[in-house]
């Protein structure tokens, strides 16, 4: 997913698609995340005044749902499985390769916002372990060498 520039205009466009009512909070948050890739502080401020809900309440609701992200993600999301099957088949070496290549830890985004690196418990594709998902593409039977090759190809 290519990341878009966060603008007030984008946020307002999402607000327009929903009723100006507290019940619209979750669909609005989903719409903003879909459009912008995350829920920015600016978005929370705008939603707060639009729906007359305090920013604290919005964060309270939004953090309850794991689907919402509050930091700007990279253009490419690299997820490395750390589940048991993948662990047994060497996912640690793959994660270490990604950490070394990108210069960030799991849970972080590169300063140029090109990549975010995430650790995932299990993709449910254990037969393909070790598994890495880059954006929406699943890469099974991954090796550290292939990890590096894939990241290089994206750059
Ligand atoms: S443990 Fe990695 S996909 Fe299940």
Return the residue whose CA atom lies nearest to atom 1 of ligand 1: 83
Q: What does pLDDT average to over the chain?
A: 92
Neighbours of 111 (CB within 10 A): 9
Query: What is the pTM assigned to this prediction?
Result: 0.78
Determine the distance separating the centroid of ligand 1 and the alpha carbon of 89, expressed in angstroms.
10
pLDDT-derived band at 4 (thresholds 50, 70, 90) equals very low
pLDDT (average), residues 109-125: 95
Q: Which residue has the tokens 């890739």?
A: 37
Determine the distance separating the centroid of ligand 1 and the alpha carbon of 110, expressed in angstroms.
25
CA distances in angstroms from 58 to 11, 36, 42, 68, 69, listed in the order given: 15, 17, 12, 12, 13
Q: What digits encode the pLDDT tens for the residues 62-116?
A: 989 888 989 889 999 999 999 999 999 999 999 999 999 999 999 999 999 999 9
Q: What digits encode the pLDDT tens for the residues 8-23?
A: 888 999 999 999 999 9
Q: Rounded distance, CA 135 to CA 132, Å?
A: 10
Residue 120 CA: nearest ligand 1 atom is 2
Q: Which pLDDT value is given to residue 1?
A: 39
């Amino acid at each position: 997913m290519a990341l878009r520039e966060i603008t007030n205009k984008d946020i307002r466009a999402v607000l327009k698609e929903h009723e100006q009512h507290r019940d619209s909070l979750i669909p609005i948050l989903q719409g903003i995340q879909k459009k912008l890739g995350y829920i920015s502080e600016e978005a929370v401020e705008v939603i707060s005044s639009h729906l007359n809900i305090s920013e604290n309440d919005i964060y309270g609701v939004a953090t309850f749902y794991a689907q919402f992200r509050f930091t700007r993600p990279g253009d490419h999301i690299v997820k490395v499985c750390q589940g048991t099957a993948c662990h047994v088949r060497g996912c640690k070496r793959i994660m270490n390769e990604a950490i070394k290549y990108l210069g960030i830890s799991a849970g972080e985004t590169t300063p140029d916002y090109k990549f975010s690196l995430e650790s995932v418990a299990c993709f449910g594709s254990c037969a393909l372990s070790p598994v890495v998902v880059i954006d929406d593409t699943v890469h099974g039977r991954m090796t550290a060498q292939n990890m590096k090759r894939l990241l290089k190809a994206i750059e």
